[in-house]
A = this chain, B = another copy of it.
Amino acid sequence: MSTNALPAQSGDFPAWYGEVVRRAGLAENSPVRGAMVIKPYGYAIWETIQRELDDRIKATGHENLYFPLLVPTSVLAREGKLVEGFAPEVALVTEAGGKQLEEPLAVRPTSEALIWSTYARWVQSYRDLPLLYNQWANCVRWELRPRLFLRTSEFLWQEGHTAHETEKEALAEALTILHDVYADTIENVLAIPVLRGRKSESERFPGAVDTYTLEALMRDGKALQAATSHYLGQGFARAFDVRFTGRDGSEQFPYATSWGATTRLVGGLVMTHGDDRGLRLPPRVAPQQVVIVPIVREDEEADVLQAAATVADELRAAGVRVRVDDRPELRPGFKFNEWELKGVPVRIELGSRDLAAGAVTVARRDTGEKEQVPLAQVSAGVAELLRDVQASLFEDAHGERERRTLRDPSSYDELIEYLREARGFAVAPWCGRGECEARVKADSSATIRCLPLDERAAEPGVCVCCGRPAVTSAVWAQAY
């Protein structure tokens, strides 16, 4: 294993990340620059994320549907900010069926334009509202500096697109999605603690009135935008001429939201929990929660394998996702390393000595701790351990984030030095002016990740950059 050791996480984080993603079998590059192959283990994680998000999307009253991949450029162009924001990243189909097309078709970078051009046909009366729809789809945004999962020319996501009678309803929708769908999944399933906030104007989605965001901190001190939910006001309704007859008989424009979460969450999972031995997967998202490694010598093989199968059946009956690794050609130490690399939360070792003692050895991936557990208690013990690993990984990440959060730096220089070295989040009062935001970015490469939702609107104090009265607290960091 020593010759194959991963790059140290603390030494070269990007190299560590790339190697973990590849060696754990999550994804690899494809012949198309910037587009990745999501391998079975990575895709199984994505399927869990999908199911968890989808359950919550449906539980909050939404239905799934599907809009076409290709968007006429004239439709895309109808919302000025949207087309301006995405033009540099768009891929265009110009030939199809052996002919030059009269109008190029954009491979969807996002679907607001196509969907709102269709909503014009679906909405006539207030009785048609709200429209609460979501789609699971692929998206293409041309990427010059691709990174597996984090920045890819094609990614998978869900995109919700809703239309409402009132501004109040639309705002409530954007926040319901942020809290009840995204934060709940990301914190309670992926065990990734997130800051909930609004974006500053310069970081908003093109065409949005407000962009709400969840921001997570990776183990290299950089932030990852985990999901966003946009309140779009009436801009899309006006651009696509979507009107309805209101309760008072007057003609009105509906209020819109859109919201998305993507395969980059898989990258966030790696960078939040991984260590020098590889992935550490929270049990709720782990494709395999337990791996059983039988330690066999030839003369005892049958007994040990039989016992392993019995333990596995018991765990499966208790709803645990378990795999027995009985590959005969590989040594236990090799298997231990491989499952640690893949981040399986709990390993059970089972040899003839364990069997004789009526027990198994249980090792948890997050801390490396091992203990003997009597055979009769394996099922209950593992269930408790999985809950504990889930909670511990969240606590770990939360502690790491708090440790790496600089609050109220005493000077601009302290702020800049901290941000430039990517030591984590910096929270400081801000005057709300773009000049100060731009100055920090120029001096440190850091951006405002969010204006926290849970802080009082106007912090006492003065802007960390210019000394003018602050209107809000801002969270800065370098970001993926």
Interface residues of A (CB under 8 A from B): 30-32, 35-40, 42-44, 46-47, 63-72, 75, 87-98, 104-105, 107, 114, 117-118, 127, 133, 137-138, 140, 142-144, 153-154, 156, 329
Contact = CB atoms under 8 A, between A and B. Distances in A.
A64 B93 contact: no
A306 B160 CA distance: 33
Nearest to A152: B68
Copy total for this chain? 2
A66 B95 CA distance: 25
Given A37-B118, A133-B40, A68 B142 contact: no
A361 B74 CA distance: 53
A94 B97 contact: no
B30 A43 contact: no
Q: Is the interface of A mostly helix, strand, loop or mixed?
A: mixed
Nearest to A91: B96
A43 B68 contact: no
A114 B69 contact: no
A66 B35 CA distance: 11
Contacts of A31: 71-72, 75, 114, 117
Contacts of A65: 37-40, 42-43
Contacts of A40: 63-65, 133
Nearest to A133: B40
Contact of A91 (B42, B90, B95): B95
B96 A94 contact: no
B32 A72 contact: yes
Given A30-B68, A31-B72, A37-B67, A107 B92 contact: no
Nearest to A137: B138
A69 B30 contact: no
